[in-house]
Homo-oligomer: A and B are copies of this chain.
Amino acid sequence: MTTRRLTEHLPFGEKRDPRFFGQDILSVSQFDREDLETIFEVAHEMYGMVERIGTFDLLKGKVLTNLFYEPSTRTSSSFVAAIERLGGSVVQINNVTYSSVSKGETLQDTVKTMESYTDAIVLRHPEKGSAALAAAAASKPVINAGDGPGEHPTQALLDAYTIREEMGAIDGLTITMLGDLKYGRTVHSLAKLLTLYDVKINYVSPDILQMPELLVKEVDAAGIDQYETTDLDDVLADTDVLYVTRIQKERFENPNEYDMVKDSYVITPETLTMAKESMIVMHPLPRVGEIATEVDNDPRAAYFRQMEYGMYVRMALLALVLGRA
A interface with B by C-beta (< 8 Å):
53-56, 60-63, 65, 71-74, 77-78, 80-81, 84-85, 89, 91-93, 95-96, 98-101, 103-106, 108-110, 112-114, 116-119, 285-288, 293, 296, 304-305, 307-308, 311
CB distance from A112 to the nearest CB of B (A): 5
CB distance from A282 to the nearest CB of B (A): 14
Known contacts A77-B93, A116-B308, then 10 further A-B pairs from the complex at CB < 8 Å, ordered by chain A residue: A54-B62, A55-B62, A72-B100, A74-B113, A77-B114, A81-B91, A81-B118, A84-B89, A116-B304, A116-B307
CB distance from A296 to the nearest CB of B (A): 8
Residue of B nearest to A83 (CB): B89
CB distance from A268 to the nearest CB of B (A): 17
Beta-carbon contact of B118 and A100 below 8 Å: no
A274 to B98, CA, bound (A): 38
Q: Can you list 23 A-B contacts with CB-CB less than 8 angstroms, sorted by A residue number?
A: A53-B61, A55-B61, A56-B61, A61-B85, A71-B99, A72-B99, A73-B100, A73-B110, A74-B100, A74-B113, A77-B91, A77-B113, A80-B91, A92-B92, A100-B285, A103-B286, A104-B286, A105-B286, A105-B287, A108-B293, A109-B285, A112-B307, A113-B307
List of B residues within 8 angstroms of A286 by Cβ: 100, 103-105, 109
Given contacts A71-B98, A108-B293, are A54 and B84 in contact (CB under 8 A)?
no
List of B residues within 8 angstroms of A304 by Cβ: 112-113, 116
CB distance from A212 to the nearest CB of B (A): 23
Beta-carbon contact of B287 and A81 below 8 Å: no
A39 to B307, CA, bound (A): 33
Beta-carbon contact of B91 and A65 below 8 Å: no
CB distance from A266 to the nearest CB of B (A): 15
List of B residues within 8 angstroms of A89 by Cβ: 84, 89
A-B interface, 4 closest residue pairs, ranked by CB to CB distance from nearest: A55-B61, A105-B286, A54-B61, A116-B308
Given contacts A285-B109, A307-B117, A308-B117, are A73 and B54 in contact (CB under 8 A)?
no
Beta-carbon contact of A113 and B61 below 8 Å: no
A251 to B116, CA, bound (A): 31
List of B residues within 8 angstroms of A293 by Cβ: 106, 108
CB distance from A124 to the nearest CB of B (A): 12
CB distance from A283 to the nearest CB of B (A): 10
A93 to B106, CA, bound (A): 25
List of B residues within 8 angstroms of A110 by Cβ: 73
CB distance from A285 to the nearest CB of B (A): 6
A98 to B104, CA, bound (A): 23
CB distance from A151 to the nearest CB of B (A): 20
List of B residues within 8 angstroms of A92 by Cβ: 92
A63 to B285, CA, bound (A): 22
List of B residues within 8 angstroms of A285 by Cβ: 100, 105, 109, 113
